[in-house]
Structure formats: C-alpha cells, structure tokens
Amino acid sequence: MQSPSIDIASQIKSQAASLGFDACGFAAAVPVDDDAVSRYDRWIEQGHHGCMQWAAGHRDLRRDPSMLLEGAQTVISLALNYYPARFQPPGTLRVAYYAYGRDYHEVLREKLTELAHFIEQITHCTTRPCVDSAPIRERYWAQQAGVGFIGLNNCLIIPGKGSFFFLGEIVTTAQLPPDEPCTMTCGECGKCVAACPTGAMNRHGAVDASRCLSCLLIENHDEQLPDWVGDVIGDRVVGCDECQLCCPHNAHATATTIEDFAPTPAVMSLTCERIGQMSGGDFKRTFAHSAISRLRYKTLRRNAAMIEKKNFTSNK
C-alpha cells in the first residue's frame, strides 16, 4: 500500500498537469545552500544587478523560504511553457516571446491559486503561491525540485524541453516527498556567451545586467539609453531572447497550448510608427493585460526612438 504522502504528492502533480503545467517538483523548504547564497551576494556586490535595485533587497527572505510562510515544509516548483505557436511578421519590432500574449503574472497567478486551493483542501495545510510576488530564488528551487538546471545563460533549462518556461512556486506547510535535484550542467557548450550581442555574459555563468538588453530595455527607465546600445539594439523593442534562441536545449521546443500566450494583435503589428502615434491612454488600453505594461509608456517610446534613429542613421 502507498503511503498517504506519496498518494497526495501524485494527486498534486496530476492536478498541476491538468491545469496545464509542464513540470512540477517538490523540494524541502530548508535554507538555500551556502554556495548559492555567496554566488548571489557576489553578483550584487559586483553591481551586476544593474538597475534592478529590488534584487539587492530582502536577502534574508531569499535565503530561507520558511521566512515567507511560517512552518513551511515544501517548496513546489512549477513550469509553464510559453514558446510561441505563431511569431511576429517581418517588419515589426521584436518583442521577447515572454511578452507576446497576456501578462504571465495574471495567467500564472490564476493557475497557482487554483492549485494552492486544491492542496489546502487535500492536505489541510497552508500555502503561499509566488509569481514574482515574493523574494524567492525560483531557478534555484526549480533545480532543487528536479524540474531542470540553471544554464550558463542563467535560465532554467528543462532537459528535453528547453528554457521558454515561466516559473512559479507554492510554498506550503504540507510535508511532501522531495524530488531528486537536477544535476545536469551546460558542459563546454558556451553558445550563449558567443551569441550575446552585448557581451553581458561570461563563461562562469554570471550575467552583467547592466549590459544586458533584456534589463536595459525593460527595467531601465532612464530618459536616455547609453549611446552604445544603439549599436546593438537592432529591432528589439522589448527584451532580448538571443541567449535562449541559440541554446541547443531549445532546438526542439514545442509550442505552448495556452491560448493566453498567443501574440496579441498589438504585438503582431508593432512598429516605430505605431508607437510614435500612441498616446499614454492608448498605451494603457492596448497593453492593460500585457507584460509590456510594466515597461511604461515612456520607456517603450524611448526604445522605439533609439531603433528609429539608428535605422535612419545607418540607411543614410
């Protein structure tokens, strides 16, 4: 006869699958290991978090999930595929795949909340769903929970599936049988380091966010971008996927079946001209339920203006 916790574990995993999650794993909610803590601390001390000031805060909470939920026993890591079934047409400004469709915070929060209710019902324990809403080391926990490994590009890579996945967690007081951590590594590949247009990555797996286009185009809200960005921005207006697109683990990525992640009409027709004509009100209405809303109106226009200026200069 199976033990009750194994039965509950498999019920949770099959409920996660029926909600559309592509992976679900459990890890014991113990403090983050010393190596991972010092790597993170070093990254902050070297200023490699760039303009993401929030990353330097709440380091005590990041170290210990039991500070996020009293009596926490398990961190449940979940992954949701967002690899597009359709892509932007030529001539549109490039948007990173994660921002193609409906805001993933909304989609993931709905699914995590539903799963958390299910867990509370069958375990009578408490839960705390997290989707960028709590300082938790989500890739670390995904690795601990056996979902995948952290690649040199700093993305969570699910063996056989790739890295175009949103991650979410449920911290719970339920004691669930932990999965084996994923021990795979990138080996000698290094393709992402070579593909990065800004040289933001190094061979030791540190990404300097102050040089990363994803960070500069999304998180940095300065009035002007540094001049050198004009030489590498190309047609990217929201984020950058280069270090994922080149990764061999994504060579056989399969398209998401979640209709919410399909590209919106605004993404499919995004041009410098369209952004130039957009008022603040248009921006709010157009991107109300899109992750692009987090960029802010002025930041989107700043990015588009730099692309336009660069194209104008290089076509002269």
Nearer to ligand SF4, 63 or 249 (CB): 249
Instruction: Kindly state whether residue 50 participates in binding ligand SF4, applying the rule CB under 6 A.
Output: no
Which distant-in-sequence residues (6+ apart) come within 8 Å of 26 by Cβ?
Answer: 9, 74, 75, 76, 77, 145, 176, 177, 178, 179
From CA 77, how far away is CA 23, in angstroms rounded? 8
Instruction: Kindly state whether residue 198 participates in binding ligand SF4, applying the rule CB under 6 A.
Output: yes
In the complex, minimum distance from the CB of residue 73 to ligand SF4, in angstroms, rounded to a whole number: 32
Nearer to ligand SF4, 65 or 241 (CB): 241
Active site residue 132: yes
Structure tokens at 126: 């408490």
Instruction: Kindly state whether residue 306 participates in binding ligand SF4, applying the rule CB under 6 A.
Output: no
- State in Å, rounded, how far the first CA of the chain is from the last one: 76
Instruction: Kindly state whether residue 191 participates in binding ligand SF4, applying the rule CB under 6 A.
Output: yes
Question: Closest Cα to residue 154, out of 163, 145, 167, 146?
Answer: 163
Instruction: Kindly state whether residue 58 participates in binding ligand SF4, applying the rule CB under 6 A.
Output: no
In the complex, minimum distance from the CB of residue 196 to ligand SF4, in angstroms, rounded to a whole number: 3
In the complex, minimum distance from the CB of residue 51 to ligand SF4, in angstroms, rounded to a whole number: 13
Catalytic position from the list 34, 60, 132, 260: 132
Question: Closest Cα to residue 291, out of 166, 116, 207?
Answer: 166
Which positions from 234 through 263 interact with ligand SF4, judged by CB under 6 A?
A: 240, 242-243, 246-249
Q: How many residues bind ligand SF4 (CB under 6 A)?
A: 24
Instruction: Kindly state whether residue 158 participates in binding ligand SF4, applying the rule CB under 6 A.
Output: no
Which distant-in-sequence residues (6+ apart) come within 8 Å of 277 by Cβ?
Answer: none
Could you identify the residue written with the tokens 């248009």?
A: 282
From CA 203, how far away is CA 130, in angstroms rounded? 31
Which H or E run includes 213?
helix 213-218
Strand partners, 168: 78
Instruction: Kindly state whether residue 212 participates in binding ligand SF4, applying the rule CB under 6 A.
Output: yes
Instruction: Kindly state whether residue 142 participates in binding ligand SF4, applying the rule CB under 6 A.
Output: no
Instruction: Kindly state whether residue 24 participates in binding ligand SF4, applying the rule CB under 6 A.
Output: no
Instruction: Kindly state whether residue 207 participates in binding ligand SF4, applying the rule CB under 6 A.
Output: yes
Could you identify the residue written with the tokens 């998401």?
A: 256
Kindly report the number of other CB atoms within 10 A of residue 1's CB atom: 5
Secondary structure of residue 23 in the 3-state scheme: strand
When binding is defined by CB under 6 A, the residue of 81, 92, 127, 153 that contacts ligand SF4 is 153
Nearer to ligand SF4, 79 or 207 (CB): 207
**Can you give the C-alpha Rg of the chain in angstroms?**
20
Which H or E run includes 25?
strand 23-28
Instruction: Kindly state whether residue 186 participates in binding ligand SF4, applying the rule CB under 6 A.
Output: yes
Stretch that binds ligand SF4, among 4-12, 108-116, 210-218, 262-270 (CB under 6 A): 210-218
In the complex, minimum distance from the CB of residue 246 to ligand SF4, in angstroms, rounded to a whole number: 6
In the complex, minimum distance from the CB of residue 193 to ligand SF4, in angstroms, rounded to a whole number: 7
Nearer to ligand SF4, 131 or 152 (CB): 152
Nearer to ligand SF4, 47 or 190 (CB): 190
From CA 143, how far away is CA 129, in angstroms rounded? 18
- Kindly tell me the burial class for residue 82, based on how many C-beta atoms sit within 10 Å of its own C-beta (0-12, 13-18, 19 or more): buried
Q: Which residues bind ligand SF4 (CB under 6 A)?
A: 151-153, 186, 189-192, 196-198, 200-201, 207, 212-214, 240, 242-243, 246-249
Active site residues: 132
